[in-house]
Amino acid sequence: METLGSATAICTDKTGTLTVNEMTVRKIFVYGKTLDVTGKGYDKNGEFLNNGQKVETGEGVRLLLETGLFCNNAILDKEPIGDPTEIALLVSAAKAGLPDLRKDHERLDEIPFDSERKKMSVICTADGKTLMHTKGAVEKVLDNCTHIYKDGGVARLTQEDINQILAVNHLFASEALRVLAFARKELEDGPHEERGLVFLGLQGMIDPPRPEVREAYQKCREAGLRVVMITGDHKDTAAAVAKEIGILDDGTLLTGVELDALSDEEYIRVAPEVRVYARVSPQHKVRITDMYKKMGHVVAMTGDGINDAPALKRSNIGVAMGITGTDVTKEASDMVLADDNFATIVAAIEEGRGIYENIRKFVYYLLSSNFAEVITIFAAMLLNMPLPLLPVQLLWINLVTDGLPALALGVEPYEKEIMKRPPRNPREGIITKGIIVYLVAVGFVVAAATLSLFYFGMNVDEARTVAFTFFVVVEKFIAYNFRTFGSFHKISFVSNRQLLIACAISFPLQAAIVYVPFLNPIFHTVPLPWWDWLEIIGASFAVFGIVEGIKTLLRYFERRASRLRRPSRKARLRMVEVRREEWSGMRRAR
């Protein structure tokens, strides 16, 4: 979780993570005709429209839908089971009134889908015929087609036909539709090869972005996180979805083929501008992960398939999908996403940042108290003063009165601004030079106030009791200083109830030590008059204000140093423009 809080780049899948993973067929294309399909989700009720008018499905549409039925491993029941894409194909066939023909056709063999082939085929037999049904990425299926079904018969597939199909594919994809091509052929004796297929048509299905994803992406931008979408879908589909979310607002798109054509030197120059990777394989994911790590990013990579395991292992934080992920992927990952939702990744990063911040607050608070104790005792010895704090009193401060507030700081509610800060440097330790200066400064302020109260005390016993009680009280004030590294007025005083309870317990305990007679000799205290309490409370408020002032000064110097290190806006824009010119030049050259 601590590593996730320092993540600087999220490489996320599209389907099911950025989208709802509930496919619905919206458009169908058969030669010379495009139909709209109505309906929502997995509801079997729907109509086929041509130019807004209801039409009957012809023979070409029927063959297309039948292949979607046969080339399918999903089950459409009260609760659909299987891949959402395949369920959508069953629903589109049901809308046309087709029964589940798989019950009457024996499946002889299956050539399963994989990320390299990007297609799937099944071989079925019925009525003495053996047919191969194929579905997959448009360009992959077209590569294996020699004929096309049109005008009620089979004809030779021409270049004109291919151009028309690709144009429709581009149109569908630009509307954020995921497009699959369908083909079939009758098999003769011999090997079952995916060649010489008859092209039947296309089905375009919508998988809308999750409603909460755009807000989560904006939160990532504010937090300084680079979000990269990786998908096996067509580049136009990927671009349309990315634009709807906002991912492509400030970057470019790169396909797997274009990535293969780039050398490592070329890729490292264009990688900062790439926000979307389309038509990629699991092997591409490994290269993308390695490149972002080489650029100095802490990479969170998502995956669900067996072939994604190497990329998850190579990333700093491997995130497996809990619903669609395989057991191998879950084993290879560092965390499993129960709901497969991108917004949950962002929430986990926020949680990681919050946990790390609270660990820092816990450590800094205890260290500041220890610094104050050491400086107080050391300064008293140098000034040849009696010890203002005795060993038993220091033990009480460390074990009882400081312990409870420190634990309360460990469960401090996360600040609203936590996702509006840039990621921390993972190589940076909890204790930095600036923090050491801050803690020592706080220690000196507390020590100075403690010694002043002790020096001006009436007698040694009373002065020591005042110093001891002041130290206990001021540490509770300082606990509120450490609740935030920003200005105290920006947080609610009562939002950390555990700290209120810790203070409510500490004050009566300290009062008991001061006023219960049998405890006085144990802790070397005497009862204090009311005016001593006024001094203690007043000095505590003064220390609180000074510590807030120290924080303000440190924030000022940090911002100033950051501005000096950071290139000007004009220089940054120029670097972006140079990278884009290089990228455009490489694309034209290829």
Total domain count, the chain: 3
Alpha helical stretches, state H, 127-184: 138-143, 159-174
Q: Which pTM does this prediction carry?
A: 0.77
Q: Clarify whether residues 259 and 150 are in a common domain.
A: no
Q: Clarify whether residues 217 and 192 are in a common domain.
A: no
Q: Does 112 map to a domain?
A: yes
Closest by CA to 302, choosing from 230, 364, 249, 237, is 230
Degrees, nearest 5: CA angle 333-334-336: 75
Q: Clarify whether residues 83 and 110 are in a common domain.
A: yes
Number of residues assigned to the chain: 590
Q: Clarify whether residues 39 and 115 are in a common domain.
A: yes
Answer for the pair 299, 317: CB distance below 8 angstroms, yes or no. yes
CATH number at residue 198: 3.40.1110.10
Q: pLDDT by residue (tens digit) across 381-396? A: 999 999 999 999 999 9
Q: Hey, what long-range contacts does 150-156 have (CB within 8 A, 24 or more apart)?
A: 150/30, 150/31, 150/32, 150/60, 151/31, 152/59, 152/60, 154/198
Q: Clarify whether residues 501 and 415 are in a common domain.
A: yes
Q: Clarify whether residues 375 and 477 are in a common domain.
A: yes
Q: Clarify whether residues 224 and 201 are in a common domain.
A: no
Q: Enumerate the active-site residues.
A: 13
Q: Does 570 map to a domain?
A: no
Measured between alpha carbons, how far is 280 from 300 in angstroms, rounded to an integer? 18
Q: Does 506 map to a domain?
A: yes
Q: pLDDT by residue (tens digit) across 39-51? A: 888 888 889 998 8
Question: Of 161, 187, 206, which closes a domain?
Answer: 206
Residue-wise pLDDT tens for the chain (590 aa)?
667 788 899 999 888 888 888 889 999 999 888 999 998 888 888 899 988 888 888 889 999 999 999 999 998 887 888 888 999 999 999 999 988 888 888 888 899 988 778 899 999 987 778 899 999 999 999 999 999 998 889 999 999 999 999 999 999 998 889 899 999 998 887 677 888 999 999 999 988 888 899 999 999 999 989 999 998 888 888 888 898 898 988 788 999 999 999 998 889 888 888 999 998 888 899 999 999 999 889 999 988 878 788 888 999 999 988 887 888 888 888 888 888 888 988 988 989 889 989 999 999 999 999 999 999 999 999 999 999 999 999 999 988 778 889 999 999 998 888 888 888 877 777 888 888 989 999 999 999 999 999 988 778 889 999 999 999 999 999 999 998 887 777 788 888 999 999 999 989 999 999 999 999 999 999 999 989 999 999 999 999 999 999 988 888 877 776 665 555 555 544 555 555 555 555 555 55
Q: Which two tokens stand for residue 230?
A: 């990786």
